[in-house]
Amino acid sequence: MAKLKKPVSLPKLKKKALDLYSELVKIRAFKSGKLVCFTCRTPLKLNTTNCHLGHYLSRGAYPGLTFHPDNSRPQCYRCNCHLHGATVEFRERLICEIGIDRVEFLEGSRHVSVKWGRSDFHSMIDEFTGEIKQLNQIDLNEVAHKYF
């Protein structure tokens, strides 16, 4: 008799989705040539302990904005952890980048309640994985066209 597999817990699915989302945001920044700390402008390197995903409105206080693209940017360890996100600088830079209207919309959305289920996290995981593969494939295609 085949042993039934236990479904992955919701917290583990959320962690997997967040890890992939973090990787995706950092890869996008790297591909655009802007992998620097959003708040202090320190250059960052992918896959290092100094390269974090920072949130303007913290994901602990405002979980509904955890995966919102206007709310997250690469940050260094110092700004994200020691300075608790450096929110004043984060807000100022967000206003310069996306405009005051979108920042105020984000701030107005901070108390929106979101209830994610297994299917939501599975969809996010699939979406983020696909986009990461696509972004990484671009490099392989560029190398292939350059040398072959």
State the Cα–Cα distance between residues 46 and 48, nearest whole angstrom: 6
Answer whether residue 128 is part of any domain. Answer: no
Answer whether residue 136 is part of any domain. Answer: no
Query: Which residues neighbour 20 within 8 Å (Cβ) at sequence distance 6 or greater?
Result: 124, 125, 128, 129, 132
Instruction: Report yes or no: 93 and 39 within 8 Å, Cβ to Cβ.
Output: yes
Instruction: Report yes or no: 48 and 55 within 8 Å, Cβ to Cβ.
Output: no
Answer whether residue 70 is part of any domain. Answer: yes
Q: What is the pLDDT of residue 3?
A: 73
Answer whether residue 11 is part of any domain. Answer: no
| pLDDT exceeds 70 at position 2 | no
Domain that holds residue 70: 33-115
State the Cα–Cα distance between residues 119 and 56, nearest whole angstrom: 27
Using pLDDT thresholds of 50, 70 and 90, give the confidence band for residue 66. very high
| pLDDT exceeds 90 at position 54 | yes
Answer whether residue 134 is part of any domain. Answer: no
Average pLDDT along the chain = 91
Task: Provide the whole-model pTM.
Answer: 0.87
Q: What is the pLDDT of residue 145?
A: 43
Q: Give me the mean pLDDT over the 100-113 stretch.
A: 95
Number of domains in the chain: 1
| pLDDT exceeds 80 at position 1 | no
Answer whether residue 106 is part of any domain. Answer: yes
Using pLDDT thresholds of 50, 70 and 90, give the confidence band for residue 48. very high
Answer whether residue 143 is part of any domain. Answer: no
Q: What is the pLDDT of residues 67-95, one digit of tens each?
A: 999 999 999 999 999 999 999 999 999 99
